[in-house]
Amino acid sequence: MPDNVAETAAAAAETSHAILPMVVLGLIMTATYVVIAFEWLHKALAASLGAFLAVIAALAFGLFPVPEGARTAYAHVHEIVGHELGVLGVIVGTSILVDVSSHSGLFHFIAVKIVKQTQGDPKKLFLFITLLTMVFVTFLTIAPGSLIVVSLALVVTKALDINPRPYVMAVAIIANSAALVTLASGVCTLMLATASELPYVSFFRVTTPLAFISAAIAYFVLKRFYGDLIVAPGTPEERAERVKGFDEWALVKDRRVFYRCAAILGLTIVGFATAQTIGVGLDFIALGGGLAALLLSGHSPEKSIKVVKWDTIIFFVALFVVIGAVEESHLLDVLANGIVGLSGGDETNTMLYIAGFVLGLSGIVDNIPVAATLIPVVRNLASQGFPVDPIWWALIISANLGGNSTPVGSISSVIAVSSLEKERGIKIGWGEFLKVGCTILALQGIVALVYLYAFARLDLFPVR
């Protein structure tokens, strides 16, 4: 009997010791996300502070293993960051490539050529801004693609004396649909696709159709909400004359550089599609594209490197450290088991529960931390033999579309809303954004869940 009491006491002590790190690390992660969501600190600073506290807590609880060949457990932090270098490399490489290509006048040329087709008609312009957003985000990723289209929309609407509000909102929301087109179109998509090693070509089968369906939903809802503002003064002939005066070659200083950048960008896109086939990472392709652009354009490397969003890089590194520390506490294992328990172990239900949870949470917290947090959860399910490919697809879809509900839910919303206020002094408040964004998300969410359910029941997910 005494032996049983001793064993019970020892087990209780071990359990309490295991629970305490989960609680502490879980609180640090939650507090970090709350600070990010309410913008009490810059997100890079908030994530860095969270990472600092998470590392201290993990070391104090002895959670980090000592890597082979290392002297201290702290070296495990470097291993956490090292696992995610691929994502960071893609961000750096594409940032440099987009900056050099932008200075060549390539994107301005494409955008003005397309806008000229509208002849100044505000309704056609609204449609073309939507299409431009899809094209630019698909091939340039969500941050630079959104910024370029928003800048163009502000210039064109000012020249035609049109209210820019509906056009900027279109970029903010439709960019999240465009991020689903390819593996490298959005940050969440890239991060989840890299973690899951889903084939590039599979996106054209699973998420690309939904990207256009969800974009169409957003387009019609936005048009209904802002129909009264999609008007322009003057006659059609006057508007057409104004648009005709736009010079697509205005920013092209050297046509040789222009064509080189077009070729490099095209080859980089092809490289993304074939990277897995030839056995290299997306970061290798992205950095190669950036390097080629710098070598062949004559553009200042120093200026292009400065343009890289280093605060975003810091944010990602810190975020990975926070999640890595929480993962070592086994809190995410508990979460994974809880999800499976809630779904009764049914694969389709598990996929739908995770999708619904992420759709709701991604608008409250930036969709990037939400996606990053779920990566080790899904990996844990995979380690238990659970079929997780449908869950990866559900995460990719829900994390991107979930950012539509609030002005801080995704990077495209932040870029669009802040640019409108800075350049034109027009503020889109939370009330307005919630009214439009939540309506769109509700419709997109229902369609997305039905879409995922159909794929699961009809066995349409690609088999690896």
Give domain status of residue 77, yes or no: no
Radius of gyration of the chain (CA): 24
pLDDT (average), residues 335-360: 90
Tokens encoding 361: 């949470």
What's the pTM? 0.86
Q: At residue 217, what is the residue type?
A: I
Q: At residue 318, what is the residue type?
A: A
Phi, psi of 42 (to 5 degrees): -55, 140
Average pLDDT of the chain?
A: 90
Give domain status of residue 284, yes or no: yes
- Does residue 344 register a pLDDT over 50? yes
- Cα–chain center distance at 9: 47
Helix (H) or strand (E) holding 137: helix 122-140
Give domain status of residue 98, yes or no: yes
Tokens encoding 225: 């909400």
pLDDT digits over 288-341, tens only? 999 999 999 888 888 888 888 898 899 999 999 999 999 999 998 888 888 888
At 177 the pLDDT is: 97
- Coil, helix or strand at residue 29: helix
* Farthest-apart Cα atoms in the chain, separation: 97
Tokens encoding 449: 């869940």
Number of helices (H), then strands (E), in the chain: 21, 0
Give domain status of residue 350, yes or no: no
Distance CA 49, CA 44 (A): 9
- Does residue 181 register a pLDDT over 70? yes
Give domain status of residue 206, yes or no: yes
- Does residue 364 register a pLDDT over 90? no
Give domain status of residue 378, yes or no: no
- Does residue 417 register a pLDDT over 90? yes
Range of the domain at 268: 85-307
Give domain status of residue 201, yes or no: yes
- Does residue 64 register a pLDDT over 90? yes
Location of structure tokens 């990207």 = 211
Domain count, the chain: 1
Closest Cα partner for 81 from 240, 271, 313? 313
Q: Is the dihedral of CA 366, 411, 82, 192 positive or negative?
A: positive
CB contact at 8 A, 186 and 399? no
Phi, psi of 229 (to 5 degrees): -95, -10
Q: What whole-number percentage of the chain has pLDDT above 90? A: 65
